[in-house]
Amino acid sequence: MRRFLLPALMALALLAGGVLHGRWSDRWVPESKAQIAAAGTRIMAFPINLGNWKGVDNDWPELNTENTVEKVLTRSYTNRLNGNSVGILLACGNPRNLSLFHTPLECYPAQGYTLMASEKHSLQMGASTVEFMVSDFKRAQGPLANYVRVFWSWSGSGDWQVPEHPRLVFGPYRVLYKVYVARPLLNPEEPVGDEDPCVEFLRELLPEVERSVLSGE
């Protein structure tokens, strides 16, 4: 019997490897591209205004070509009541698209910013708790400096989180979503709290993302 054991184990390993590869390559789920395309359509149709926040599109046509299934929405929003302004990036695509795992920790330093602090925060949004990384950056301009704060997170099922190994956590999903919310930071020592304009905006943004984007899954 022993001489049959090794071949049997090897056959099981090959079968498991084939199943895993098929799962990750979407070999048996041809609807995956259609799901991503539909998610992209919903993102590009995201409401321009959210409550007291009025939006203006910031187009990146090179990111949204006819040949690109993944979609990226970038906008600036201003609160008409208190004048607070934020910028957002909302994207979707295949979890195996490595660009979806490109974070502010890479792109802001590439634009001349220096990371000052980056820490994970849990935010209470109604009955739900969401997880965001909050990163503060500085860029010197002569004797002065510009500061910016970015909230960022991913979602595969509506639960926004920043796991230690995002590719492993989000790999099983058909569509992955990414969101940034950024704003100028006047005081580099300003703590993260409920009064932060980014948090104020996220309370409007996330329920609408759930309603008009994620609900189509």
The 10s digit of each residue's pLDDT in 38-52 is 999 999 999 999 999
pTM strictly above 0.75: yes
Q: Which residue has the higher pLDDT, 3 or 40?
A: 40
The model's pLDDT over 153-207, given as tens digits with 9 standing for 90+, comes to: 999 988 999 999 999 999 999 999 999 999 999 888 899 988 999 999 999 999 9
Give the pLDDT confidence score for residue 67 in this predicted structure. 52
Residue that has been written with the tokens 């203006």 in this structure: 56
Q: How remote is the C-alpha of 141 from its chain's centroid? A: 29
Neighbours of 128 (CB within 10 A): 13
Are 38 and 216 in contact by the 8 Å Cβ rule? The answer is yes
pLDDT tens-digit map of 69-128: 678 999 999 999 999 999 999 999 999 887 788 999 999 999 999 999 999 999 988 778
Q: Which of 205, 167, 210 has the alpha carbon at shortest distance from 87?
A: 205
- 30 vs 86, which has greater pLDDT? 86
CA 22, distance to chain mean position in Å, is 25
The more confidently predicted of residues 31 and 4 is: 31
The pair of structure tokens assigned to 10 is: 């090897």
- pLDDT recorded at residue 6: 41
pLDDT (tens digit per residue) in 133-142: 999 999 988 7
